Amino acid sequence: MANDIKDIAHAVEAASVMRLFASPPLMLTLGEPTHGVDAPLRLRNALFRQLVEEEGYRTIAVESDCVAGALVDDYVTTGAGDLDDVLERGFSHGLGASAASRELVRWMRAFNAGRPACDQVRFAGFDGPLEMAWAASPRETLTALHRTLTDHVDPGLIPCTPQTLDRLLGPDDRWTDPAAMLDPSASFGRSAEAGELRLLADDLGALLHAWTPHLIAATSRDAFDRARLQARAASGLLRYHYWMADSSSSRLARLTGLRDQMMADNLLALAERGPVLVHAHNSHLQRDVSSMRMGGRRLEWWSAGAIVNSRLGEEYGFLATAFGTMRHQGVDVPPPDTLEGALYAFPTGPCLVDASELAAAVAATDPVRRTSPYFGYAPLDPAHLARIDGVVFIGDVPDD
């Protein structure tokens, strides 16, 4: 077994990755089995640099707030803002505190310095404006979208005034109350005001679409794409808040699915401008149905990766990342009858393995999926190997 693994393990480099595909994928996705450690992020950074320099990739998208990510993109393309502030406000989920995130943003800014806009690298968050305990108010996105249209479209076509939006939105804390995540009755999402806002968001988004040629000519393609992002985020947030008020047993499963639907819409929009490297949890990028336990229930939903793959086909590539040990989080040496165990048996640095070759190498061991005492860590499921292009393995994850 160890010799088999040795024969199929390669360095995690752009050239090795590209050999997995008939042609470079338009969207190459790199998963991780958990959040909060820098080792896979540093590996992501190194791979992105190689993809930029050797394969012409120009965008990286991470599992972070899509609206806040505009601050990071502005910084890396123009130098606008202060690095510390950009890291704090431009990332969600605490990702800005990571040393690897700082390294990525600094490298992107240095790469772009002096380059024409058409050759610059770009940053994007592709998650919704959401956290585990709350969803953002739609105020920022709705008002920004309304302002763009008011500045460039016939005033008679605008469906409401800024004052109407402000009255319907009310104070932001009515939207962001963390109690609403577990208590549907605490959600503002099915109020009369929220219902009217959903209709207005739909009308504003339709008007944006109808005036596409004029808006691109009057502003720029980047400005128009940002307005599209605001429209998607506003409608997605209002839909999410609506279902936060649902009291049925399918509530949590629907919310997880809506989050990945927002992710998928953002990724498909990014794919329109060229090759992109995407980094997120394996469960958001895999081609299979995702699942987790929450509130005592098993939730299942179609991941963003599964949705995007159904649209892009062979232009979508997925590399899953697996760990051997993560002792500071209670993940010890993997049993030999697991995929991680088969890889861990051969001591090596981070490596890349063709998923089909890995499946053949471990077929005789009949590996089983192990469980972990650490919430959020998802070991590889052998049943998914046929739907994975490659596996990146990090044997011992240090305590960063």
CA dist., res. 292 & res. 256, Å (int): 10
- Let me know how long the chain is: 400
DSSP-assigned beta bridge partners for residue 322 = 393
Q: Which pLDDT does position 345 carry in this prediction?
A: 84
Chain centroid to CA 307: 13
Q: Which pLDDT does position 43 carry in this prediction?
A: 97
Please classify residue 246 by burial: count the beta carbons closer than 10 Å to its beta carbon, then call 0-12 exposed, 13-18 middle and 19+ buried: middle
Note whether 174 and 212 are within 8 A (CB): no
Q: Give the number of other CB atoms < 10 A from CB of residue 161.
A: 12
CA dist., res. 243 & res. 181, Å (int): 10
The closest of 290, 363, 280 to 318, measured between CA atoms, is 280
pTM for the predicted model, two decimal places: 0.95
CA dist., res. 239 & res. 241, Å (int): 5
What is the signed CA dihedral for 19, 267, 73, 238, rounded to 10 degrees? Answer: -160
Q: Which residues contact 43 (CB under 8 A, 6 or more apart)?
A: 12, 321, 350, 392, 394
At position 23, the amino acid (one-letter code) is S
Q: Which pLDDT does position 367 carry in this prediction?
A: 56
φ and ψ of 345, to 5 deg? -65, -20
Q: Which pLDDT does position 306 carry in this prediction?
A: 97
Q: Which pLDDT does position 375 carry in this prediction?
A: 59
Q: Which pLDDT does position 365 carry in this prediction?
A: 57
H helix count then E strand count, the chain: 17, 12
pLDDT per residue of the chain (400 residues) written in tens, 0 to 9: 444 667 889 999 999 999 999 999 999 999 999 998 999 999 999 999 999 999 999 999 999 999 999 999 999 999 999 999 999 999 999 999 999 999 999 999 999 999 999 999 999 999 999 987 889 999 999 999 999 999 999 999 999 999 999 999 999 999 999 999 989 999 999 999 999 999 999 999 999 999 999 999 999 999 999 999 999 999 999 999 999 999 999 999 999 999 999 999 999 999 999 999 999 999 999 999 988 877 678 889 999 999 999 999 999 999 999 999 988 888 888 888 788 888 888 777 899 999 999 888 877 555 555 555 565 677 888 888 999 999 999 999 988 6
At position 61, the amino acid (one-letter code) is A
Q: Which pLDDT does position 382 carry in this prediction?
A: 82
Q: Which pLDDT does position 1 carry in this prediction?
A: 47
The per-residue DSSP string of 298-345 comes to EEEEE-HHHHHHHHHGGGEEEEEEEEEEBGGGTB-SPPTTSHHHHHHT
φ and ψ of 95, to 5 deg? -70, -25
Note whether 5 and 342 are within 8 A (CB): yes
At position 17, the amino acid (one-letter code) is V
Note whether 358 and 391 are within 8 A (CB): yes
